[in-house]
């Protein structure tokens, strides 16, 4: 601990990302990256930006990307905010929308960045237990709060909350912001963005890291009522006026425009997920219903941590969370057909 730290820093518990090993030839199924590359049109658009124009700052308002998102979701650009990855967008939301005198509600099993941001911004938190099937109970969010946030589909479980139930939570909390974190929505759910014109307290965040294969680009978005967007813009322009570079803006906009590539790669992942679920079940795993590009599974008789270690020894990486209620689960990213087959074959040898 440094004597130069601000006092609050010593109490922070930082987020721990999934391992990004430097070893080659690993089957890397631990960080939910898309196994298929980004749109070729996005790559061309980014390459076109690598010119003498890099001496100039990018557009601080990110208009080209905001209009691409607005067109895709049939909203006005005033409903759209963009940032350097959805984690930054979430951070601005915590900072600008959740600092109130009542606790922030979120599932007890969810994205582990939420409690980190609560610690960073001094926000009182109140985790809400998922039910015995790891599902959100709508009635649990009908209590006093200073805001609500939940991933949908949930992470790390992959379970989806149907859109009508999302709307029930939004309706029941008209005086609080309800943030729906849709990092994985494109792999099996219906986006709550369709509701943002109806509810001024709804904010929906998404990322281009998963379904559009641009994790290395760091682009996130939020869609919500213009009043909420203005609040995020105030935070952003007090923090970093230029969060996205020229290449990122061009590539992200092109990715939204290439619907064919998006649907093709997404459908491949969904099809592979169903195959992996069947194979895991045949090996004695219980697999939670997933609408994401990963599955959450526990074996009937084998310890999860031991299985994860045995897989790693044979070059297959999956994610294990040593946390209450889920310590016997493995989170397994859906890979290419070859990677998925290697996973199943390796599991057979381990079990």
Task: Give pLDDT tens digits for 6-16.
Answer: 888 888 777 67
d(CA 220, CA 230): 16
pLDDT digits (tens, 9 = 90+) for 201-242: 999 999 999 999 999 999 999 999 999 999 999 999 999 999
Long-range contacts of 345-348 (CB under 8 A, 24+ apart): 346/27, 346/311, 346/314, 346/315, 346/316, 347/280, 347/283, 347/307, 347/311, 348/283
List, in order of start, the domains of the chain with CATH numbers: 7-37+260-350 (3.90.1150.10), 40-258 (3.40.640.10)
pLDDT band at 253 (very low <50, low <70, confident <90, very high): very high
pLDDT at position 9, please? 82
What is the per-residue pLDDT across 53-81, written as a single tens digit (0 to 9) for each?
A: 999 999 999 999 999 999 999 999 999 99
Model confidence band, residue 23 (pLDDT cutoffs 50, 70, 90): low
3-class SS of residue 149: strand
Which residues on neighbouring strands pair with residue 186, listed in sequence order?
Answer: none
CA–CA distance, 190 with 212 (Å, rounded to integer): 16
Please determine, for residue 116, whether its predicted confidence score (pLDDT) is greater than 80.
yes
Residue 123 phi, psi (nearest 5): -100, 130
Q: How large is the average pLDDT for residues 287-309?
A: 97
User: What is the percent of the chain with per-residue pLDDT over 90, rounded to a whole number?
Assistant: 92
Judged by average pLDDT, the poorest of 1-5, 69-73, 266-270 is 1-5
Q: Is the pLDDT of residue 20 over 80?
A: no
- Quick check: 22 pLDDT over 70? no
* Mean per-residue pLDDT, 72-98: 97
- Distance between CA atoms of residues 328 and 321, nearest Å: 8
pTM summary value: 0.94
User: What is the mean pLDDT of the segment spanning 142-164?
Assistant: 98
- Does residue 5 register a pLDDT over 90? no
The pLDDT mean for the chain works out to: 95
**Taking 70 as the threshold, does the pLDDT of residue 95 lie above it?**
yes
Residue linked to tokens 């290449």: 247
């Amino acid at each position: 601990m440094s004597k130069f730290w601000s006092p609050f820093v010593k109490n922070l518990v930082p987020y721990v990302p999934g391992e990004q090993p430097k070893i080659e030839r690993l089957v890397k199924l631990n960080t939910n990256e898309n196994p298929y590359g980004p749109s070729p049109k996005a790559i061309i658009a980014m390459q076109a930006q690598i010119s003498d124009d890099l001496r100039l700052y990018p557009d601080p308002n990110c208009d080209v990307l905001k209009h691409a998102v607005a067109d895709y979701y049939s909203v006005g650009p005033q409903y759209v905010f963009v940032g350097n990855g959805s984690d930054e967008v979430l951070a601005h939301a915590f900072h600008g929308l959740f600092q109130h005198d009542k606790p922030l509600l979120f599932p007890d099993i969810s994205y582990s960045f939420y409690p980190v941001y609560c610690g960073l911004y001094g926000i009182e938190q109140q985790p809400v237990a998922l039910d015995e099937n790891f599902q959100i109970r709508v009635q649990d969010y009908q209590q006093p709060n200073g805001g609500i946030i939940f991933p949908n589909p949930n992470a790390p479980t992959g379970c989806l909350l149907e859109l009508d139930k999302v709307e029930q939570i939004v309706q029941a909390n008209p005086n609080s912001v309800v943030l729906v974190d849709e990092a994985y929505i494109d792999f099996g759910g219906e986006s709550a963005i369709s509701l943002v014109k109806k509810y001024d307290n709804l904010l929906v965040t998404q990322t281009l890291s998963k379904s559009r294969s641009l994790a290395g680009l760091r682009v996130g978005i939020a869609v919500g009522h213009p009043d909420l967007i203005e609040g995020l813009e105030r935070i952003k322009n007090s923090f970093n006026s230029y969060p996205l570079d020229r290449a990122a803006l061009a590539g992200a906009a092109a990715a939204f425009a290439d619907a064919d590539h998006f649907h093709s790669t997404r459908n491949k992942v969904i099809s592979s997920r169903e195959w992996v679920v069947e194979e895991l079940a045949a090996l004695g795993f219980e697999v939670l219903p997933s609408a994401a590009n990963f599955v959450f599974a526990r074996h009937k008789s084998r310890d999860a941590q031991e299985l994860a270690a045995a897989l790693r020894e044979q070059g297959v990486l999956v994610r294990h969370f040593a946390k209450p209620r889920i310590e016997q689960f493995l989170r397994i990213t859906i890979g290419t057909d070859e990677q998925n087959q290697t996973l199943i074959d390796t599991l057979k040898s381990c079990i």
